[in-house]
Amino acid sequence: MTEIIDGKLVAEDVVATVKGLTADLVGKGHAAPGLAVVIVGEDPASQVYVASKSKKAKECGFLSVQHTLPADTSEADLLKLIADLNADKSIDGILVQLPLPGHIDSGKVIQTIAPEKDVDGFHFVNVGKLGTGELETAFVPCTPAGSMILIERVRGKDLSGLNAVVVGRSNIVGKPMANLLLAANCTVTIAHSRTKDLPALARTADILVAAVGRPEMVKGDWVKPGATVIDVGINRIPAPEKGEGKSRLVGDVAFNEAAKNAGAITPVPGGVGPMTIALLMANTLVSAYLKAGLKRPTF
């Protein structure tokens, strides 16, 4: 029987751990972790994401600060705000909601965040730490970090000898995912749009991670029997069966087909998605623990 990996349940477990460790931290006389979220402009999807992140931070017992800036905010003003947050001792994590308006250089903004407060894991210092296996002090992007926890819940922490195929080479998911799997002793292949005979390569995977942003691209016969399948994709497609103009969410994996072969698989929605916000909370807590000179917590 295929195991459907319940990301919502695992995310709730991670958040419960964060709440408990936050209470411990405050009980030892330290300040509660502080998370500052910065949003520029009125993008509706970004507003929803930011609201859910701020709400979850408060639920964890964090100091939650939100800076909502108008769409015409200058790059200089945004960089000044980040510099102020870098210097603010009550803030442990800084998250700038992407995308930013076109007149602002996103790369410059991300690299301005202090690496020890970069809870999104996008600063080159954190990218370099992950790439060289310095995981004790690195911040890992939340989606691959959450995906890794789901894999470990199924396969255990030692993945020695397993073949992993990551479909997708983005800096946000594909590359960090591959580095995490390498650190866990997998043999890792990164596949992408130029890969020859992708279905045959996918069939070699004990762990198959799909992160390409193409609806249901990974078919059932791409999946090795018993493989663990992690579907990072979130794609909205038309759903005329629900009524005119209606849509539904699907992943990068054709779920019903793949579930017949997989040993374990994440659904969309309800798989990797809930883990992303949970790991943002975990990263913010880790930052507070490291600042206090305490041992890094694990999840």
Q: Return the number of other C-beta atoms located less than 10 Å from residue 197's C-beta.
A: 9
Which residue in 191, 261, 252, 249 sits closest to 220, CA to CA? 261
User: Over the chain, what is the mean pLDDT?
Assistant: 96
Catalytic status, residue 120: yes
* Better-scored residue on pLDDT, 272 or 44: 272
| Type and span of the H or E element at 187 | strand 187-191
Q: What is the pLDDT of residues 268-280, one digit of tens each?
A: 999 999 999 999 9
CA 37 – CA 117 distance, rounded (Å): 12
Give the pLDDT confidence of 137-178 residue by residue, as tens digits.
999 999 999 999 999 999 999 999 999 999 999 999 999 999
Which CATH number does 28-114 carry? Answer: 3.40.50.10860
User: Is residue 184 packed enough to be buried (19+ CB in 10 Å), middle (13-18) or exposed (0-12)?
Assistant: buried
Kindly report whether the global pTM for this prediction surpasses the value 0.85: yes
- Look at residue 273 in the predicted model and tell me its pLDDT: 95
User: Token pair of 170, please?
Assistant: 């983005």
Distance CA 229, CA 247 (A): 24
Phi, psi of 234 (to 5 degrees): -135, 105
Work out the pLDDT band at 117, boundaries 50, 70, 90.
very high
Q: Are 147 and 275 in contact (CB under 8 A)?
A: yes
* pLDDT of res. 45: 84
Find the mean pLDDT for residues 87-106: 96
Torsion of CA 18, 19, 25, 30, to 10 degrees: 110
Q: How far is the first Cα of the chain from the last one, in angstroms, to the nearest whole number?
A: 27
Catalytic residue among 92, 117, 118, 120: 120
* Domain range summary for the chain, segments of one domain joined by +: 28-114, 142-274
Per residue in 213-270, pLDDT tens? Answer: 999 999 999 999 999 999 999 999 988 888 888 899 999 999 999 999 999 999 999 9
66 is catalytic: no
Among the options 97, 118, 129, 206, which is catalytic? 97
Lowest mean pLDDT among 42-46, 81-85, 131-135, 146-150: 42-46
Residue 53 annotated as catalytic: yes
Cross-strand bridge partners of residue 69: 40
Residue 161 buriedness (CB in 10 A; 0-12 / 13-18 / 19+): exposed
CATH of domain 142-274: 3.40.50.720
What pLDDT score does 244 carry?
85
Q: One of 53, 56, 129, 175 is an active-site residue; which one? A: 53
Asked if the domains 28-114 and 142-274 are classified in one and the same CATH topology, the answer is yes
